[in-house]
Structure 1
């Protein structure tokens, strides 16, 4: 939703990033002040309040174990090939 605000005798506009990706804070000042948080229409980089952190941890552990197992299997296969 575009902002259609007017600041009288505009002196400067200050823009600052936030910790949340794709969000910016804007302050325009002069005779008036205008402050707004600007972000995309769809909050694609925000987590829902019911996000399953436990499932995320399980998935990361499964990926780490799978990576270790693939590396171990690859080393064993290369060692076996060298002995043949």
Structure 2
């Protein structure tokens, strides 16, 4: 199934792109996707990377065809 991925900030810099469409296997979890992309692009500080699925920070959802997954860098408080 295909999902759309968007990268922001330092993550986009590490990936060398702002977005891409990926073909993933049925049943792939959000955490598996995160691990895969962090290794693929050698994203620094993986513990601080947050994922939003369809603009929702709840990352325990099941991925479905056409979902949008955003890789978000650490947020600065103020």
Q: TM-score, normalised by structure 1?
A: 0.22
Which structure has more relative contact order (CA 8 Å, sep 6+)? It is 2
Q: Relative to total residues, which structure has the larger strand share, 1 or 2?
A: 2
* Structure number, greater radius of gyration: 1
Q: TM-score, normalised by structure 2?
A: 0.23
